[in-house]
Amino acid sequence: MTTRSRLSDGEIAFVHAQRAARLATSDAEGHPHVVPVCYAFDGERYYTPLDEKPKSSDARGLKRVRNIEARHEAALLIDRYDDDWSRLGYLLVHARADLLEPGDPLHARALPLLRERYPQYRAMRLETLPIICLTPMRVTSWGPALAAGASAVTSPWLEPGRDLDFLPLARGRRSVRAYQDRPVPRAALEAMLEAARWAPSPHGRQPWRFAVLTRDEPKRRLAEAMGEEWRGTLAMDGEPEEVIQLRLDKSRERIRAAPALILACLYLDDLDRYPDPARQRAEETMAIQSLGAAIQNMLLAAYSLGLDTGWMCAPLFAPATVRAALDLDAALIPHALITAGYIAREPKRRPHRSIEELVVRFE
């Protein structure tokens, strides 16, 4: 069996896909102790917190902590079980275990990783508690990349992407209008944008650009500018003044109160050029389709991080006004405004059509 400490890309994907692991330690006499744990991985080390729970003693009284202080040896088992045994897999990390005290640079590094991965930790005072740090000494893995019937030896990789429980993620995402007065971490916004970056696009050109707003002033400026244009549109539709004002107030508040906004813009300068209008329109349609895919990636990534989002189409009806309000380049075509934050009130969910209604042919 080959001994190593670094992970392959597939193993990294496997580690990030699982939600819990088992931490094994032993005392000075070698008596084993195993507990289930949550964990985060930064590409080099694994971190597991001593979270806030009612206990009869402080964190240093925990068995795993006493064992680590006695031996500094530990093992972390990250595994996947499925009734389809072709999907079984595990990764076993033999590591040096240390306690990170508050103030340690690695402690500060671990906190945002844990809070991004487990939303429950965002309300806990982990910054006041030690964190267990596991530095890998050797790693063993086994999974579906091995030939059928092979023994559990070190695997070159664990098949990535096959353990992502996607349907609950897609079904859980909802359109939210009311958020808590709580900032969205920059790392979470960057994770959303990273997800968007991997959306399919025509010729791989990624014909989209994003403007991220978290400060009050640009949000206010955008809300006021779009509101004035919308007022004129509603007046043309014959809406009574009191109805117009009510709708404008709600729309402005929705924009101003969102902790973060991501303006999604179409960017056509890098697309192929054709001499005939029909093909050029098709090229632009492909770009618009890919922008929708990028936005959906963002929405799902946000939900996986414990955030919620809303999709506002208002910029599509006032692109020049949006560009002027935010001083954007003329090549950017605003299409959608994505609000993001921590949900304050459950929205009413509209029913979704059945597969039988949506599929017109299946043969």
Output the pLDDT for position 232. 80
**Which residue intervals of the chain bear CATH 3.40.109.10?**
169-341
Amino acid 64 reads: R
Overall average pLDDT of the 72-95 stretch:
88
Of 265 and 6, more confident: 265
Topology of domain 9-164 in CATH is Pnp Oxidase; Chain A (2.30.110)
Output the pLDDT for position 335. 97
List pLDDT tens digits, range 293-319.
999 999 999 998 889 999 999 999 999
Count Cα atoms within 13 angstroms, Cβ side, for 305: 28
Residue 339 pLDDT greater than 70, yes or no: yes
Residue 48 pLDDT greater than 90, yes or no: yes
Place of tokens 């958020």: 179
Of 186, 263, 193, the closest CA to residue 221 belongs to 263
Of 116 and 280, more confident: 280
The answer to whether 297 and 199 have CB atoms below 8 angstroms apart is: yes
Alpha carbon 214 to chain centroid, angstroms = 18
Residue 195 pLDDT greater than 60, yes or no: yes
List pLDDT tens digits, range 116-167.
888 888 888 888 889 999 999 999 888 764 323 333 333 434 444 444 567 7
**Which residue intervals of the chain bear CATH 2.30.110.10?**
9-164
The CATH code of the domain at 169-341 is 3.40.109.10
Q: Is 125 exposed, middle or buried (0-12, 13-18, 19+ CB in 10 A)?
A: exposed
Residue 53 pLDDT greater than 80, yes or no: no
Angle at 352 between CA 174 and CA 179, to 5 degrees: 15
